[in-house]
Structure 1
Amino acid sequence: MNAPAALRLAVGIGCRRGVSADAIERAVRAALGAHGFGDIAIVASIDTKRNEAGLLGFCERHRLPLHFFSADEIAHAPRTTLSRHARKHLQVDGVCEPCALLAGNAHPLIVPKTIDCDVTVAIAPARRTFASAIR
């Protein structure tokens, strides 16, 4: 999923259990399309999503590195939009925004939380380099 500009992006993704790779792709494209720039350097989510087939499939399909952050790491990220769902089910204030900020080692967000069905996406500049393997 490359866009014309050279800006490297960190994409934070939150999703409900069982969401498909196609649903994640649609949500990411919607978030990117609204701003029309950048090249995805890293995708990140909370470590409880480590076995989500849709998230893994999306990243494998596009050969994107995937990094997971613990709830503790997310708790220490810069403050972002509060998500009642994330608080109730994952005990964190949010997933996509803090994961984008942590993965990119950047602040502020370029694209704050967007919601497409059961997927949330936020985008930050990527100022950190991760290995290209999914972890």
Structure 2
Amino acid sequence: MKHLSVGIGCKLNTSADHIEAAVRGALGAHAFDEIACIATLDIKAREPGLIEFCTRHAVSLQVFSRAEIEAVSDLPTPSDAARRHLGIEGVCEPCALLATPGGRLIVRKTAWQGVTVAIATSLDAPASESESTSRDTL
């Protein structure tokens, strides 16, 4: 069942393989076939590695504006880098939540080689053993 929304933030020109490794690490016990969509900031909509990753796994890419992201409050793991470079509190966590209206984060922001990943699901989806704690895999 596809019930996971994966929020991703990445540096310019990040490869699909790097994105895949970061997502694989964040998924834990979840499988790629549980991913309903990838979500990110609108300025990343044409990022080649992100597009290739979505194509490779046959998942849609949802993009959100800074204004939409700013409307998400109380992020568990605000990002100094996102605040400094983009003027917003984060990318992966708010995008994952925006792609899952009424949902909740089951994996808080993780970071791996310039890629940040957070995972959200609908409130009625089954919980995972890996739920809730931030995993720093740097």
Superposed displacement of residue 7, structure 1:
6.1
In the other structure, the counterpart of 1:79 is 74
Consecutive unaligned residues in structure 1, runs of 5 or more: 1-5, 128-135
Task: Quote the sequence identity (%).
Answer: 51
Matched length: 120
1:56 aligns with 2:51: yes
Runs of 4+ residues over 4 Å off in structure 1: none
In the superposition, the TM-score normalised over structure 1's length comes to: 0.84
Consecutive unaligned residues in structure 2, runs of 5 or more: 124-138
Superposed displacement of residue 37, structure 1:
2.3
What is the rounded CA distance, in whole Å, between the counterparts of 2:102 and 2:22 in structure 1?
A: 22
Q: 1:15 aligns with which of 10, 15, 25?
A: 10
In the other structure, the counterpart of 1:46 is 41
What is the rounded CA distance, in whole Å, between the counterparts of 1:96 and 1:106 in structure 2?
A: 16
Superposed displacement of residue 89, structure 1:
1.1
What is the rounded CA distance, in whole Å, between the counterparts of 2:2 and 2:73 in structure 1?
A: 22
In the other structure, the counterpart of 1:95 is 91
1:37 aligns with 2:33: no
What is the rounded CA distance, in whole Å, between the counterparts of 2:84 and 2:65 in structure 1?
A: 16
In the superposition, the TM-score normalised over structure 2's length comes to: 0.82
